[in-house]
Amino acid sequence: MSASVKAAVIGASGYSGIELLRLMLRHPGIDLVAVTSRALAGRVLSGEFPRLRGIPPADDLVFSEPDVELVRQSGAQAAFLALPHGVSAQFAKPLLAAGIKVIDLSADFRLRSPRLYEEFYGHPHPHPELLAEAVYALPEIRAEAIASARLIACPGCYPTSILLPLIPLLRAGLLDLAQPVSVASMSGASGAGRNASVPLLFCEVNGSLRSYSVPRHRHLSEIGQELEVAAGQPVPLVFVPHLVPVHAGICTTIFARPAAGVQPEQIDAALRDAYAAEPFVRLLGRDQSPDTKHVAGTNFIDIGWAHDPRTGQLILLSAEDNIGKGASGQAIQNFNLAFGFPAVTGLLQV
């Protein structure tokens, strides 16, 4: 194991920022040296996040302005960016120039194509020249590239829950891509962010089940990109996200058609081949439904599947914590890969 790595968090005021801090404080190989937030500059970490009171060094660490020079002076070797898209790229550039590895939780470096970025995010990419070296960092899929990357783009929460079940099947050619893959996902409210907003009030979310961003959620862009990489061809995809009254958790249900002649056992085998040795993918097997309550607060993704003999359709089922494996847990997992720690360091706790 490496010695402790000095790390900074840029923009730690949202739910994935808090989760990131929580995980960093218990990671034996991370020395948290700087935390920045424009809104919280000058405040003690545990003053803003009372949950962290009494956990060293949260009572001593003070939020600083998000200034790259300050981060550099802190000696940080790694910087986690928990910033809005568009803003993240502006920090990544000088941090990389200062020799700091960047682990970005925003969408800024997930897409290979600046044109696609502009189409889905509504503004030109601030630093398209960095896209080529950025790694779309699903650790179960791209561990080697992550280990040597300077710029690590952590996948989105929905994409993680959709890509991990599908990629092994696409790589093995088990799906018939003449039929679109249809995905319904449910997410807890932390996925919508920690911003003052009437639709996210307790009284609006509690008792409410609803889809949103239909038919075109931004995450379609990165899901499509990565499915195409796995399949070697474009994969038609329909995606409907839903907001449901839990704090954290994504439950994803995928409908797809197996390729002609594929037997159900091949589905299981492909998943096992891909993930049997992966510590954070828990394969539940056939006709087993994952439950977000078993993964909330963890870095696990649970995957089940079923075959419907009446229609021949395949159903893939996954559950993860949207701010865990879907964001901050995965960021730490990528950190472990990038700095030579065992994959499970700091993450194998429930």
Binding to its own copies (CB under 8 A) within 299-318 occurs at: 300, 302, 304, 306-313, 315, 317
**Active site (annotated) includes residue 157:** yes
Footprint on residues 234-253 left by its own copies (CB under 8 A)? 236-238, 240, 242, 244-247, 249-251, 253
Q: Is 255 near its own copies (CB under 8 A)?
A: yes
Q: Is 296 near its own copies (CB under 8 A)?
A: yes
Contact between 170 and 258 under an 8 Å Cβ cutoff? The reply is: no
- Considering beta carbons, is residue 26 or 73 the nearer one to its own copies? 26
The DSSP symbol for 334 reads: H
Count of residues engaged in binding its own copies, rule: CB under 8 A: 86
> How do 313-320 and 250-256 pair as beta strands?
antiparallel
Q: Is 200 near its own copies (CB under 8 A)?
A: yes
Contact between 156 and 107 under an 8 Å Cβ cutoff? The reply is: yes
Query: Alpha-carbon distance 168 to 293, whole Å?
Result: 25
Q: Is 297 near its own copies (CB under 8 A)?
A: yes
Q: Is 116 near its own copies (CB under 8 A)?
A: no
DSSP 44-112: BHHHH-GGGTTSTTTTT-B-B---HHHHHHTT-SEEEE---TTHHHHHHHHHHHTT-EEEE-SSTTT-S
Q: Is 115 near its own copies (CB under 8 A)?
A: no
User: Least distance from C-beta 248 to its own copies, angstroms?
Assistant: 8
Q: Is 120 near its own copies (CB under 8 A)?
A: no
Query: Alpha-carbon distance 171 to 165, whole Å?
Result: 11
Half-sphere exposure of 331 toward its Cβ, with a 13 Å CA cutoff? 35
Q: Is 272 near its own copies (CB under 8 A)?
A: no
Contact region with its own copies (CB under 8 A), list: 104-112, 151-159, 166-174, 194-202:
194-202
Query: Alpha-carbon distance 121 to 106, whole Å?
Result: 12
Q: Is 146 near its own copies (CB under 8 A)?
A: no
User: Least distance from C-beta 12 to its own copies, angstroms?
Assistant: 15
Chain centroid to CA 242: 17
- Which residues share a beta bridge with 211? 242
User: Least distance from C-beta 102 to its own copies, angstroms?
Assistant: 26
Query: Which of 3, 202, 233, 261 is the binder for its own copies (CB under 8 A)?
Result: 202
Contact between 33 and 77 under an 8 Å Cβ cutoff? The reply is: no
Contact region with its own copies (CB under 8 A), list: 102-110, 133-141, 186-194, 327-335:
186-194
User: Least distance from C-beta 154 to its own copies, angstroms?
Assistant: 20
Q: How far is CA 269 from CA 75, 80, 97, 141, in A?
A: 46, 36, 44, 17
- Considering beta carbons, is residue 50 or 261 the nearer one to its own copies? 50
User: Least distance from C-beta 210 to its own copies, angstroms?
Assistant: 4
Footprint on residues 12-51 left by its own copies (CB under 8 A)? 15, 22, 25-26, 50-51
Q: Is 119 near its own copies (CB under 8 A)?
A: no
User: Least distance from C-beta 57 to its own copies, angstroms?
Assistant: 12
Q: Is 176 near its own copies (CB under 8 A)?
A: no
Q: Is 332 near its own copies (CB under 8 A)?
A: no
Contact between 134 and 151 under an 8 Å Cβ cutoff? The reply is: yes
Query: Alpha-carbon distance 318 to 336, whole Å?
Result: 24
Among 271, 276, 274, 280, residue whose Cα is nearest residue 342: 280
Q: Is 198 near its own copies (CB under 8 A)?
A: yes
User: Least distance from C-beta 99 to its own copies, angstroms?
Assistant: 32
- Catalytic center residues: 157
